[in-house]
Amino acid sequence: MEYFLTRFTVYGSPFYNLNAGRDHTDWENQSRLRKALSRFQQSEEGQALPKKFTDQQIKGIRWGLPVVGLFFGRFIGDIYCAQSSIYMKGIFAVVGLTVFNKIGMDIRNDNEISYWTSNYPKLPSDIQKALSYGDARYTGRWID
């Protein structure tokens, strides 16, 4: 038991679970926190904060890049594969789709992270606490 209490976890301190009063694998807390943060972003306060990309741009990037990757992989497959090797052309297309899908997901995630980090000083105190502690209990006014 002593070894467990003195050992650091991936969260830094071994007492993080005790101090926060919650379990890090609490899926209900995570879903409530996501819902509250989403509602904050859709509120007037959240809409007034600056973003790198708008929601429409992010949707276009998220779904447009895989389509571009599909056609790019197909184009590369046509260049480097023989006419009869349709399986290799399909593999090139799937690889292009997968790579460009990953790029689109990274852009979407970077936009989300930069929204919260760059606007952190401007956020209400309850949202700041919820982000700091990862706890949905602070977001009472954003959850029904």
pLDDT exceeds cutoff 70 at 18: no
Backbone φ/ψ region at 12: left (φ over 0), alpha (ψ -120 to 50), beta:
left
Strands (E), the chain: none
Mean pLDDT of 66-81: 93
CA atoms within 13 A on the CB side of 14: 8
Nearest to 93 by CA among 62, 63, 72: 72
Report the chain's mean pLDDT, rounded to a whole number.
Answer: 82
CA atoms within 13 A on the CB side of 97: 11
pLDDT digits (tens, 9 = 90+) for 92-123: 999 999 999 999 999 988 888 888 888 989 99
Return the pLDDT at 84: 86
pTM: predicted TM-score of the whole model, two decimal places:
0.70
d(CA 22, CA 43): 27
pLDDT-based confidence at residue 3 (cuts at 50, 70, 90): very low
Highest mean pLDDT among 30-34, 100-104, 131-135: 100-104
Q: Which amino acid is at 73?
A: G
